Structure 1
Amino acid sequence: MDCTGMNQDSNRILLADNLKLLRTLPDESAELIYVDPPFNTGKRQMRPQMKTVRDEAGDRVGFGGRRYRTELVAGKRAGAGYSDSFDDFTGFLRPRMEEAHRILTATGSLFFHIDYREVHYCKVMLDEIFGRECFQNEIIWAYDYGARAKRRWPAKHDNILWYTKDPKRYTFNLDECDRIPYMAPTLVGEEKAARGKTPTDVWWHTIVSPTGKEKTGYATQKPLGILERIVKVHSNPGDTVLDFFAGSGTTGVAAARHKRTFVLIDQNREAVKLMKRRLEKYL
């Protein structure tokens, strides 16, 4: 697969070591970069492949009241997975973020998706690369799904750090943002309540449903709604959107749906196969 240069007029999915490939991309060639790197959880990220079986004693109810049970497909996994453990996590990320800074256009934005374990160290690193004055927001993506801790408050959020190349000149099309319901609609009147409001820096959004059509089976897939919000507000039609930890390709779907060009990079062959299937009509 050709991994040299970046064609601004075509969508691309590239199988490559992202650092080597980033070093070949032109200066100021992407208006928006979103990355969702490994979170350094110390685990191997895998998602088991499941199937439903008709069983009148099962715990799930389907059409017509029929009951089913869920089973793990023996020996099957969705993709090869990847090791999410690093001896020097910021040392791994720093050269890639330095390349991201170089590749961003003068009015471009970086969105860096991480979790509570590493966000503080990553922010210090990004402050050093971009400058503290170019830090715009820490967005909290809050959700409510999954296991509940018994000895501490359950961790049900991710952190998304937004940096710009320039502290004052950057793309921010707030009018393009989806609107959300007021938490206390009776306090704002019927007209405002019907229109809804633009989000704050806390984004309440469910995870990808384990049984929904959006699910690809990729272990760390992020919701399309989150990526669409970022793409619509922080880029313009015709812009190039780069994701070099592309995974399941959600960034590419969001970009293509809103007439942006996408460049997706991943070194996992199974991830690249998945993205090519998912984005076939845009290639």
Structure 2
Amino acid sequence: MKELSDEQIEKIISLLKKGVPFPEDDRLSLLKYLEQSKNSLLFDTKKEYELIYADKEREEDILADTMAVPLQKIKTFRNSKGTVPDLLAEGGRIGTVPEQWTNMLIFGDNLQVLKTLLQMKQEGKLKNADGTPGVRLVYIDPPFATRQEFRGSQDQKAYQDKIAGANFLEFLRKRLVFLRELLSEDGSIYVHLDWKKAHYVKALMDEIFKENNLKNEIIWSYQGAGQSETQYKRKHEVIYFYTKTENTIFNWRDIATPFSEKQFVKYTGIDKHGLRYKEYRHKDGKVYRKYLHDDEVLPLNDVWTDISIIQSHAERVYPTQKPEALLNRIIKASSNPSDLVMDCFAGSGTTQAVAEKLGRRWIGVDCGKLAIYTMQKRLLNIAESKDLENPKKKYGKQCQPFTLYNAGLYDYKMIKELPWEQYRDFALRLFQCRDDRHEIARIELDGYLGADSVMVFNYQKHPNAVMDRGFINDLYKYLEDKIGRRFFIIAPAASVQFLEDYIEKGKTKYFVLRIPYSIIEEIHNRGFTKIK
């Protein structure tokens, strides 16, 4: 490749500084150089095309900069036998998971949760029953960028779908990047969307999962009320089915359609053994026989018209709730019994309920209190729900034990009751600080955030102390110029008596990293032994 001369480079720089258009000869030389260059700083030549929009981050930055959060166990719900141990056995640490699996329901920001789960996968703690690391199947039904607020069956606030435009695309893209990393090498992902943003999301998924790994654009078409005189009735949604690699699980026979009388009568021939067959002419001109087998089925196509939306108010307990028949088909097709299935926009818990009935492991994540409450109630009452194969019958089995976690929203009361060393470990892990005890001016410090010192506020040693300006002033009297430009203090949000993110004293900014807390405990105060 012919390089640009020093004279040409100087001329280009000069023209750029002046804001003057390039002469045609120089413009052609520059374009030819950039087209031939494989190491151009201006263009990423790795992708043939991509979707460009404002504030689109590099995948590397998304994976590196997203903060993981420890998982705080709230409660383990058991079946009547109670045979599976708590995820936090005596002496265990927050954020650790034992070898024996218990299904997980997680309350918190799914982006941070996905980073935590990815770390678990990398540590060998997130795997399928056959030992394969990662999640075998992901199904998500994310917000559709409707700009609406959704409410529950009793007018409770469920969630807001207010993110739109480029913000929506980047919101979803970040999560898709993590979901790709979380998938097992033979894993699959189904993304459920409607007509408003599906075309944009497909372009993103082609980038993230690669275009050749798109298996199907599934059209779920259904009937329902509605009338329009200006357009066709909108009665379908789109489900994109991608795999991580070419080697994947697809149990097509498990979801195939049994032969109908219409197909059966096509087999008009009967041979001397009494076997039915039909004849057809191949493109080579020869006539062949196809025999009818006892287990003959029709492979399912990618337009699904046989599954209805939930129209009954009695059955719909959550807005945008999807029918179990839809997830029954997806989970059967792309996973095997005891495989790990995840939904990080879990909502009403349909994915978790169907995974439970099909004998899969599962993880459900949602940031809505109503969603968490709905899922708990649904799973604990699953025996009274409909059987997947025969909806006229009840399922009749208790759910397997599952554990509810908080992620990024912490129960202040439970945190305060932790032994000091567990609390200290939790606080450092929460903000990804390095555990490294050290002293400055005879003050004991707990670690580092980057190169800056970190103190975990010891409210247990000083139960009446609060994190106020006086505390910062006293700290400054001891430390003065012995520390750098930043100093971090980790404290429960309820202990901090000022609103600023930091207070500047001398040359140092004293940052306070607040441990947030949730009011999810009120959900559990209602009790779940008798749910109506």
**Is the 2:256–2:297 Cα contact (8 Å) retained in structure 1?**
no
Report the CA distance between 1:6 and its aligned residue.
6.6
Q: Which amino acid aligns with 2:140?
A: V
Q: 1:181 to 1:145 in 2, by over 3 A?
A: farther
Q: Which amino acid aligns with 1:247?
A: G
Report the CA distance between 1:175 and its aligned residue.
1.5
What's 2:252 paired with?
A: 174
Which residues in structure 2 correspond to 1:96-245 (within 5 Å)?
96-166=175-245, 168-177=246-255, 179=257, 186=262, 188-189=264-265, 197-204=298-305, 205-211=307-313, 215-245=315-345
Q: Which amino acid aligns with 1:82?
A: Y
* TM-score, structure 2 as length reference: 0.44
Match for residue 144 of structure 2 among 36, 39, 43: 39
Structure 1 residue 24 corresponds to structure 2 residue 102: no
Report the CA distance between 1:33 and its aligned residue.
0.4
Point out the more displaced range, 25-34 or 195-204. Answer: 195-204
* More relative contact order, 1 or 2 (CA 8 Å, 6+ apart): 1
Q: Which amino acid aligns with 1:228?
A: N
Q: Can you list the C-alpha shifts for 1:52-93, whole angstroms capped at 9, x where unaligned? A: xxxxxxxxxxxxxxxxxxxxxxxx41x422211213211111
Q: Which amino acid aligns with 1:35?
A: I
**Secondary structure in structure 2 of the residue aligned to 1:279:** helix
C-alpha separation between the residues in 1 aligned to 2:263 and 2:340?
41
What's 1:254 paired with?
A: 354
**Is the 1:138–1:160 Cα contact (8 Å) retained in structure 2?**
yes
C-alpha separation between the residues in 2 aligned to 1:139 and 1:146?
22
Structure 1 residue 273 corresponds to structure 2 residue 357: no
Q: Percent identity?
A: 33
Q: Can you list the C-alpha shifts for 1:10-30, whole angstroms capped at 9, x where unaligned? A: 211111110000001125421
Q: Can you list the C-alpha shifts for 1:215-267, whole angstroms capped at 9, x where unaligned? A: 24200100100101010110011100000000000001111111100100000
Which residues in structure 2 correspond to 1:37-116 (within 5 Å)?
37-47=142-152, 49=153, 76-77=154-155, 79-87=156-164, 88-116=167-195
**Is the 1:35–1:243 Cα contact (8 Å) retained in structure 2?**
yes
**Is the 2:107–2:372 Cα contact (8 Å) retained in structure 1?**
yes
Q: 1:189 to 1:211 in 2, by over 3 A?
A: farther
C-alpha separation between the residues in 2 aligned to 1:126 and 1:4?
30
Q: 1:152 to 1:21 in 2, by over 3 A?
A: same
C-alpha separation between the residues in 2 aligned to 1:150 and 1:202?
26
Q: 1:190 to 1:276 in 2, by over 3 A?
A: farther
Aligned residue-pair number: 249
**Is the 1:180–1:198 Cα contact (8 Å) retained in structure 2?**
no
**Secondary structure in structure 1 of the residue aligned to 2:241:** strand
Report the CA distance between 1:209 and its aligned residue.
3.1
* TM-score, structure 1 as length reference: 0.81
C-alpha separation between the residues in 1 aligned to 2:136 and 2:233?
36
**Is the 1:179–1:195 Cα contact (8 Å) retained in structure 2?**
no
Q: Which amino acid aligns with 1:186?
A: K
RMSD over equivalenced CA pairs, Å: 2.3
Report the CA distance between 1:188 and its aligned residue.
4.9
**Secondary structure in structure 1 of the residue aligned to 2:207:** helix
Q: 1:117 to 1:188 in 2, by over 3 A?
A: farther
What's 1:60 paired with?
A: none
Report the CA distance between 1:270 and its aligned residue.
0.8
**Is the 1:40–1:86 Cα contact (8 Å) retained in structure 2?**
yes
Q: Which amino acid aligns with 2:151?
A: M
